[in-house]
Amino acid sequence: MKLFAGNSNRQLAESVAKYLGVSVGRASVRRFADEEIFVEIQENVRGEDVFILQSTSYPANDHLMELLIMIDAFRRSSARRITAVIPYFGYARQDRRTSGRTPISAKLVANLITRAGADRVLTLDLHAGQIQGFFDIPTDNLYAVPVMARDIRARYKDLSSVIVVSPDVGGVVRARALSKRLNDTLLAIVDKRREKPGESEVMNVIGEIKGKDCFLIDDIIDSGGTLCNAAEALLEKGANSVTAYITHGVLSGGAVNRIMDSKLTELVITDSIQPTAAVESAPNIRVLSITDLIGEAIARTSHEQSVSSLFD
């Protein structure tokens, strides 16, 4: 088994390699003067079980092209099996047609990865579970909930005042999974209306949150507007505090400043996307490592063992 990485998240790749007891494979991923991407594999991979770790985070198109070209390079170098390890799967929010004459870009990206030559995909907290069905190759969707639950248990010994909150109706399944791992704590839902992408208005809070420590859970935070609005609504309804656990910290534009100025006690994100300097310096943003989760999933895949048992 050999682990390689593009340029999207070298820190995570190095950490996962250390967990697996291997070194990140030698490969050159560089650009020509016109920004055209060139990949050269600098070691023998014939007959090897190859894993490519690459999030399709900002700049999404560049990192996606890096992944596709690396897959093609390994396929032409006679790798036995190629697994695309995509901690953050970009374009996942375009998983359906929301209006006329619009694409389903998540399906297009799935087709590109498959046709490039990947034999398997390993990803984390897809925005919509049905995206697994967009791939015509085996796809494992890992969940960050167990990692988050362990972190909450380590920091909050008394869970009697804790309530898990979903920021919208679509995230109830994820919120319920976290609640179950926290001794079936109470559950609440923020009912919101999204007028256009990147903007939302909180309409109501479903559930009794007065005097509770609220834990908002979601898969993606981008502009941060929804999360900040939800935190304000919960505090107005009498919540003691609001902490957010989000898998993918996209945090585009002025999102980091928005979080720092918000009423959130803390925002906890994973390193599925490599944290920027602004994220690392923010006083109320903390990064939770998914190294063990990704590393163990890669090890089990390589040894043909069950991955789903990680979440039993």
| DSSP reduced 3-state for 31 | strand
Question: Is 63 assigned a ligand-binding role in the annotation?
Answer: no
Length of the chain: 312
- Active site residue: 157, 192, 196, 237, which one? 192
Question: Is 34 assigned a ligand-binding role in the annotation?
Answer: yes
Spell out the residues 6+ positions from residue 257 whose beta carbon is closer than 8 angstroms to its own: none
Question: Is 40 assigned a ligand-binding role in the annotation?
Answer: no
Cα separation, 40 vs 274, whole angstroms: 23
Closest CA to 29 of 21, 20, 38: 38
Question: Is 168 assigned a ligand-binding role in the annotation?
Answer: yes
Phi-psi region of 99 (alpha: psi -120 to 50; beta: other; left: phi over 0): beta
Question: Is 226 assigned a ligand-binding role in the annotation?
Answer: yes
Residue 142 backbone phi and psi in degrees, to 5: -80, 165
Question: Is 36 assigned a ligand-binding role in the annotation?
Answer: yes
Question: Is 218 assigned a ligand-binding role in the annotation?
Answer: yes
Cα separation, 25 vs 149, whole angstroms: 33
Closest CA to 114 of 137, 132, 91: 137
| DSSP reduced 3-state for 118 | coil
Question: Is 76 assigned a ligand-binding role in the annotation?
Answer: no
- The verdict on whether 107 is a catalytic residue reads no
Question: Is 222 assigned a ligand-binding role in the annotation?
Answer: yes
Residues within the annotated binding site for D-ribose 5-phosphate?
Answer: 194, 218, 222-226
Instruction: Return binding residues for Mg(2+).
Output: 127, 168
Give the active site residues: 192
Binding residues for ATP: 34-36, 93-94
Annotated binding residues = 34-36, 93-94, 127, 168, 194, 218, 222-226
